[in-house]
Structure 1
Amino acid sequence: MTDVTSAKNARRPHHWRRDVIELAALFTAVAVADAIANLIGHQPDGPYLLIAAAVALVATAAFHTWWARRHSHAPPPDADGPGEAAEPAGGPEEAVETVLWRMRTTVRDTPGALAALCTVLAGHRIDILTLQTHPLAQGTVDEFLLRVPESLPAQHLGREISAAGGTSTWIERADAHDLVDTPTRVLGLATRTALDAAELPLALRQLLGRCTIHSLPALTVSGRPTGASAPVEGVLEDTVMKLRDPSGGVITVERPYLPFTPTEFARARALVELDARLGPRVPRSEDVLTLPEGNEITVRRADGEDLAAARAMHDRCSERTLGLRYHGPVRDADRYLDHLLNPRFGRTLTVQTASGRLVALGHLLWDGDETEVALLVEDDWQRRGIGSELLGRLVAMAAEAGCESVYAVTQAHNTGMVAAMRALSLPLDYQIEEGTLVITARLTASPVQPHAAPEREQPRLLG
């Protein structure tokens, strides 16, 4: 038997006793009132005294009611109950347009420092969606994702945050992708890096925000040491971090506007260590296409294992074709292949015939903040739509990776490359430098739909 049941069956109170006591009190009050009325009523001013007493009682009751309501410690009335609920101090809620901001500021590591910032944000009706803390030797870097009224200027909020104790405050617009919590985002970047070695620079950029990443090899194209190196544990220098590249070079990450924190450095180093442990790797998906004349070709990702086949294709290409692609001495063309087929510096697509012969290469190269596209199609396979197909796939990869633009370096008389860039239906910028034509396509104006690349599919027509 539970305590509730025991209490329920316990001795019940006798309600009739309370009724008898109340009835006795009522009779006593009537007797007292009758005695007072007889005593005062027979006096000359008796009626006036009775009226005055009644007024005094009513005034006393009213005063007691007012005093009890003003100083009552009872909880406020329920908003769902009768009457109107109390409105918040800021007035009734109004629908206002909001935007997403990312804000980072450094505060003293003392009790109440973060509370002061939150008070400022609450005063402007700003909603804190996420908060990350980056401990420093002195102080703490707090990174917020905020939903802010659109009418609030960032400069005004920055001044108030500084007045509340924040230093080195940095504010920029965010988007819906930033709503993903940090552990989920880091795990997603690690998964992408594990599947494709070419994803490491992109993963670092998404992890660290707006930054510039350079991958410097240990050897030049001619085989001479570049002198680029970094210790195994890496180096963190304010706005620059250097990480050991698994191939022996160094990955340099620069962010001039905001120093890196030890937490960010540790995350970046963990991604690089993951890449080093997994070794060279590229997705092995492929796509089978059919040329107008009926020949089947296969488009797939390429890596260092295709070096011998790529060199054989160079041998079959004319000097004119190689010169349009590499813009230098034709005899040095083979030297570039080690760099181009290395997933660390970008992505490469290859086209193979049904017999397995490599007849075209398409490169998407990470060049700091910019992205370059380049094509090479063997002479006998030109003007069949292969170059346009490769270029469309490369630009779709760049758009998927978040690149704002891609550029191609060619010659003005390379009509095939110029036509392929125009066929993208994207805004193009042309710039000529010393006889070299640079065509830049802006991807943010009209996102390119990525080409599907299933593991193996039925051939489709390429025309």
Structure 2
Amino acid sequence: MNRKTTAESTVPDGRTVRGWRRDIIELAALLRTWWAGRHGHAPPEPTGRDGGAAASVLWRMRTTVKDQPGSLASLCIALAERRIDILSLQTHPLARGTVDEFLLRAPGDLSAAEISGAVSRAGGQGTWIERADAHDLVDAPTRVLGLATRTALDAAELPLALRQLLGRCAIRSLPGGDSAALEGIPADGALEETDTVMRLRAPEGGVIIVERPYLPFTPTEFARARALVELDARLGPRVPHGQDVLTLPRGNAITVRRADARDLDAAKAMHERCSPRTLSLRYHGPMGDANRYLDHLLSPRYGRTLAVQTASGQVVGLGHLLWDGEETEIALLVEDEWQRRGIGGELLRRLVSMAREANCEHVYAVTQSSNTGMVAAMRGLGLPLDYQIEEGTLVITARLDPTPVASPRSYDHSGRD
């Protein structure tokens, strides 16, 4: 029986080529297994200090390291030693060093103080850390594009987009007539020396002031905020034009839609039809020039407005969701003839739904203690309420529960002609 034999080539260390091929195949298999574990499946659950399972926790962390080789590596080693996984990393080179932003997944039994302490010992300075959530898993470019899309569809989204881009911050808008506020601010905005305040030229000629005392802004954050404001300026006035037609308990048909400065004349006409008492309850005292209030209330820079319109086209109700720094105010006005028909409650429910969509934790209404209609409407929300009374002025604060928001209204998406 003839046996076919094949000579095997050898390498300098005496091993055959076939042996090397086997090693390479085994190494490739190990790499595939490792890669699948990293990217195809969830990583193994971290274990606690006692060997038991511990739920993982997401953290956002920012620290400054020296701009020299090995600084970031030392930081990563310190995190790895504590079984902390780096999910994302952004670096911001500055004159005083490099600011590194991390999204971390750490064992649940590690506290913020322990993590920041380890980072400090590894060379990190000025470390800031706070809990993160699933929204932070979206990478920065995707998040910015999403915010830009929302801003493009609705001018009222700009303050919200800035807040979601920059985290916990206070945003104020100053009108264009305030020359002192505009002084010294270049066309492309300014980041103050402390890096905790940025001033941006608003599209309508005013100033948008963003403050974050607890954490300085990076040049990247400033550039992204400036880009959102520039996008808003280029697109001009816009508001979703969808509307909902409803039938009131008495059989009247009304239309609820978004409103803006183009509804100024209709809003003024409604104010003229309202009684002095109705206006006094809404504005907490005698009302002077309606323009003084309505120019502000109808501007998308300060919030969102819903209008209630009759079949004849008259505006008979207005509901405002106003951005007040880090707070959110709700305000209602319904024409006398159309009161006690459920319009106020309908507006209030929709405004609260919009506040939830904007990730507001609570909303408040300021009225007079004698305004039983507003009190009843707030109680009708079924939310936890807090009441504060001072010299006849009543502040009702509603804490928004985490209940998922229903599908967006028809006026939440498309642009208005």
TM-score exceeds 0.5: yes
* CA-CA distance at 1:329 after TM superposition: 2.5
User: How many positions carry a matched residue from both structures?
Assistant: 374
1:205-228 deviation line (CA, Å, top 9, x unaligned): 111111111111123xxxxx4632
CA deviation vs aligned residue, 1:272-325 (integer Å, no higher than 9, x gap): 000011111111110000012222100000011100000000110000001111
Q: Distance in 2 between matches of 1:360 and 1:296?
A: 13
Contact 1:101 1:171 in 2 (8 A): yes
Output the CA distance in 1 between the equivalents of 2:354 and 2:93: 36
1:164 to 118, 122, 139: 122
Alignment match of 2:109 (pick from 151, 163, 168): 151
Distance 1:115 1:332, change over 3 A: same
**CA deviations over 1:403-444 (Å, ceiling 9, x no partner):** 11100000111000000000111111101122100000011x
Matched position secondary structure for 1:313? helix
Equivalent position of 1:274 in the other structure? 231
The within-5 A match list for 1:352-431 is: 352-431=309-388
Checking the alignment, whether the CA contact within 8 Å between 1:322 and 1:333 is kept in structure 2 is no
1:228 aligns with 2:185: no
TM-score scaled by structure 1? 0.77
Instruction: Provide closer, same or farther for how the CA distance between residues 314 and 119 of structure 1 changes in structure 2, counting only shifts above 3 A.
Output: same
Matches within 5 A, 1:198-217: 198-217=156-175
Match of 1:259 in 2: 216
Secondary structure at 1:390's aligned position in 2? Answer: helix
Amino acid corresponding to residue 181 of structure 2 in structure 1 = A
Partner residue in 2 for 1:322? 279
How far apart are the structure 2 equivalents of 1:432 and 1:290? 36
> CA offset at residue 139 of structure 1?
1.4
Alignment check: 8 A CA contact 1:397 1:450 kept: no
Write the letter of the residue equivalent to 1:109: D
SS of residue matched to 1:228: helix
1:453 is aligned to 409
The one-letter amino acid of 1:270's match is A
Question: Structure 2: which 5+ runs fail to align?
Answer: 9-21, 31-46, 413-417
Which position in structure 1 is the counterpart of 2:62?
A: 104
Query: 1:135 offset after TM fit, Å?
Result: 1.7
Letter in 2 for 1:387: G
Distance in 2 between the 1:346 and 1:451 partners? 20
SS at structure 2 position matched to 1:246? coil
The correspondence of residues 69-80 of structure 1 with structure 2, limited to 5 A, is: none
Distance 1:226 1:94 in 2: 63
Q: Deviations over 1:144-186 (max 9, x none)?
A: 1111111111112211211111111000000000000111000
> What amino acid is aligned across from residue 337 of structure 2 in structure 1?
D
**Contact 1:200–1:272 under 8 Å retained in 2:** yes
Change in Cα spacing, 1:93 to 1:128, as seen in structure 2 (3 Å) is farther
Give the distance between the partners of 1:450 and 1:298, measured in 2 at CA: 19
Give the equivalent residue in structure 1 for 2:35.
none
> Is contact 2:89–2:101 with CA below 8 Å preserved after alignment?
yes
Q: CA deviation at 1:247?
A: 1.1
Indicate the residue corresponding to 1:131 in structure 2.
89
How big is each residue's C-alpha offset from its partner over 1:192-239, in whole Å with a ceiling of 9 and x where there is no partner? 0000011001100111111111111123xxxxx463213211110111
Distance 1:232 1:159, change over 3 A: same
Contact kept, 8 Å, 1:396 with 1:448, in 2: the verdict is no
Whether the 8 Å contact between 2:316 and 2:334 is mirrored in structure 1 is yes
User: Residue type matched to 2:159 in 1?
Assistant: P
Displacement after TM superposition at 1:454 (Å): 2.5
Instruction: In structure 1, list runs of 5 or more residues that go unmatched.
Output: 1-10, 16-73, 82-89, 220-224, 457-463
Structure 1 pair 159/293, CA: closer, same or farther in 2 (3 Å)?
Answer: same
Q: CA 1:97 to 1:455, structure 2 compared with 1: closer, same or farther past 3 Å?
A: closer
Q: For residue 284 of structure 1, what is the amino acid of its counterpart?
A: H
Separation in structure 2 between the aligned mates of residue 75 and residue 452 of structure 1, nearest angstrom: 58
Closer, same or farther in 2 for the Cα pair 1:265/1:13, shift >3 Å? closer
The 2-side partners of 1:126 and 1:414 are apart by 55
Between stretches 210-219 and 301-310, larger displacement belongs to 210-219
What is the RMSD computed on CA atoms of the aligned residues?
2.6
The TM-score with structure 2 as length reference comes to 0.85
| Rg (Cα) greater in structure | 1
